[in-house]
Structure 1
Amino acid sequence: MSIKNKKNVSIALVAVLLLLIIIGGWFFWNQQTEKESKEKMIDERIVTTTVPMTQIFAKLDIPLVGVPTTNEKLPAKEQKLPHVGNHVSVDMEKIISLKPDRVYVDSELTEDYAGKLKEQGIKMSSLNFSDYPAMRKTITEIGNKYSRQKQAKNLNQQLKIKNVQRKKKPKVLLLMGMPGGSFLVMNKDSYLGDLVTRAGGQIVAADQKSMMTPVDNEKIAQADPDVIIRLAHAMPQQVQKSFNESFKSMPYPNLTAVREKQVHDVQAPKFSPTANLHVKEAYQEVKEWLDDSQEN
């Protein structure tokens, strides 16, 4: 064989070898891609029953078959899904008709769903949104369960808030108004109480052992809060009217917060009794209110 022919054979062998390497690499890459795609596929039919969990499932790219009935704006791809009611009016027939494998409910609302779902053999899982740390932990748990660890980590990173240290802590009274005119005082373990504490405030006139307790006017007068945050749990216009009427009576007119115009009315979706994805916006407002109270 001539030198020229030997050279041609060598070139051909190198070309074949390179082709085999390329094909092998493509096959390996394709196998890995298919494996990752399978890991990302969700084989459960899932129904969510509150807005915060629906928003989180959407952020983690977990498909749903049913979502809560709400006036709040749901993520775009969830807006057209069947609505299954909410804890005020559960549409159990609709839930059952969707043939879900699992229904997610808030840990505070399990009694509204547990019995009927058990009768139908539908799995129910509760999620904890009681406060900011609980929500972050819940996001991580959902990400782990459905192979969405990266998305969960990114979402938790986006929700990070920085605690504020203050030499003098503004005294804050947290009131939650209910339709009908009744109020409850929230303590530092509530969602809003935790945000106030992180912003450098001190919760006053609350029972440290109970997250929510009836109003004690004597306690409130003694505490004399610098800031009052009034949360409307539902029917905000009616609740705010009740708040305004009550604040005409003692001890409210004499409180520092009232005299210095540091009374703030809040409502959903930004503010609520439990944690949600508006936490950074809510926290920013709380910080600004506490800052303002110290400037007066």
Structure 2
Amino acid sequence: MAKVGSPMNPSAEKIAATKPTAVYSVTTLKDQFDKSFKQQHITPHFLNLQTVADLQHVVTQMGQRYDRQRAARQANAEIKAAIRTAQQRSHRRSKPRVLVLMGLPGAGYMIGTSKSYVGDLVRLAGGRNVFTSKTQEYIQPNDEAIQNAQPQVILRLEHAMPKLVTSQFQQEFKKSIWQQTPAVKSKRVYDLQEPDFDATANMHVARALRRVSDWLYPEE
């Protein structure tokens, strides 16, 4: 199999050399790669995978396009079952306050809002994201806002260079701001890594949702 670069830095020239019949990427990378693809006369399909519902829609589309409708229905049925289970688990229970963080290799972290993919998992699992937004998936951290939010659960996404990002988070969480949060005091800080978790939805979404549900509503 031809190597065409890294996931976050593919070579449009090398991709073009393989003469693909179709090229797929995600909408979050369109601004970054669209120009280089066009220079190679490639028209990629940018898939919207920002939420679980978006993923289900894409799965249905792909099933139709590649004559895999049965497999698509099975995949979506598994996702729907995971959603039902999570909703049943959280029914009539107090919503925990959840803080989502996305680690950036060598550059700290960002806060994941309700608009982010992990934020969508939190919503489906019955949690309340302490940072909401109608337009922004990620925002700059603010120590005062984090302290005021008093998160009961913290989810740390470490999808890129997880060893480095995990180490960064471990150092960051030694600071007093974190030690004073309810989540740290009750040891409810969880690390999210591939393959189950990513910045956009993937085919591990059912398992990812089950894990988030377990963290938000642990067995008593």
Question: TM-score with structure 1 length normalisation?
Answer: 0.67
1:212-231 residue pairs with structure 2 within 5 A? 212-231=138-157
Q: Note the C-alpha offset of 1:122.
A: 2.7
- Conservation of the 8 A alpha-carbon contact between 2:114 and 2:133: no
Structure ID, larger Rg? 1
Q: Note the C-alpha offset of 1:87.
A: 4.5
- Conservation of the 8 A alpha-carbon contact between 1:181 and 1:239: no
Q: Note the C-alpha offset of 1:158.
A: 2.5
**Residue 44 of structure 2 aligns to which amino acid in structure 1?**
M
- Aligned match of 1:182 in 102, 108, 118? 108
- Conservation of the 8 A alpha-carbon contact between 1:205 and 1:219: no
- Aligned match of 2:170 in 241, 244, 250? 244
Counterpart residue number, 1:137: 57
- Conservation of the 8 A alpha-carbon contact between 1:110 and 1:126: yes
Seen in structure 2, the aligned counterparts of structure 1 residues 190 and 166 have a Cα distance that, compared at 3 Å, is: farther
| CA RMSD across the alignment | 1.9
Q: Percent identity?
A: 36
Counterpart residue number, 2:117: 191
Ranges in structure 1 where 5+ consecutive residues have no aligned partner: 1-80
Q: State the number of aligned residues.
A: 214
1:154-169 residue pairs with structure 2 within 5 A? 154-160=74-80, 161=82, 162=84, 163=87, 164-169=90-95
Counterpart residue number, 1:233: 159
Distance in 2 of aligned mates of 1:91 and 1:83: 9
1:165-220 Cα offsets, whole Å, 9 max, x none, are: 24310111001110114211111121111111111110004545421001111111
**Residue 60 of structure 2 aligns to which amino acid in structure 1?**
T
- Conservation of the 8 A alpha-carbon contact between 2:4 and 2:10: yes
Q: Note the C-alpha offset of 1:98.
A: 1.1
Distance in 1 of aligned mates of 2:60 and 2:3: 26
- The higher relative CO (CA closer than 8 Å, separation ≥ 6) is in 2
